[in-house]
Amino acid sequence: MGKRENIDKTILESNKDDKTVLESPEEDKTRLIEDDKTMLVGESQEIELKGKPLYFAWLVGIDGPHKGIDIRIIKEKTMIGKASTNDIIIPDPYISSVHAAIYFEKDKFVVDDLKSSNGTYLNEKRIEREVLKDNDIIKFGKLNYKFKCIRKVAK
């Protein structure tokens, strides 16, 4: 938890049998979300998609301590704040201990402000709960992150 992960170590590709191969570092386990099922993937596995969507999401730090860093969203509920118990730890005075959460529900990613002192903003609008889409800008306190999402559907 709270560990920065190197997105460059993840390779996602499809082979001729319409399977998706995800390779990740040996010590890392990555959660893949496929419709209502969550699959835990180890070092390297093949997953048959069978017509169901597969989602990969991450935040890209625009400023602050995570500037230029990709942070993968690997859980159905990702907690964000400055407390060490969060999944994404942002050490900044404008961030609440438990500031916000990103959820994956009903084939969508959603961001929730958890009654933080300095608010959560989506594309410059203060929000309580909103659905995320690729390239949205999320602001936690005074720090900006770009939300990225890839959706893959097998043929």
pLDDT of 109: 96
The torsion defined by the Cα of 26, 40, 61 and 97, in degrees rounded to 10, comes to -110
Residue 50: its pLDDT value, please? 53
Burial of 57 (0-12, 13-18, 19+ CB in 10 A): buried
Q: List pLDDT tens digits, range 109-145.
A: 999 999 999 999 999 999 999 999 999 999 999 999 9
Q: Residues 9-38: what's their mean pLDDT?
A: 40
Mean residue pLDDT across the chain: 76
pTM for the whole thing?
0.67
Mean pLDDT calculated for residue range 19-46:
40
Q: Which residue has the tokens 């990555």?
A: 30
pLDDT value at 87 more than 70: yes
CB neighbours of 2 closer than 8 A, spacing ≥ 6? 84, 86, 87, 88, 89
Q: Where are the alpha helices (DSSP H) in 27-70?
A: none
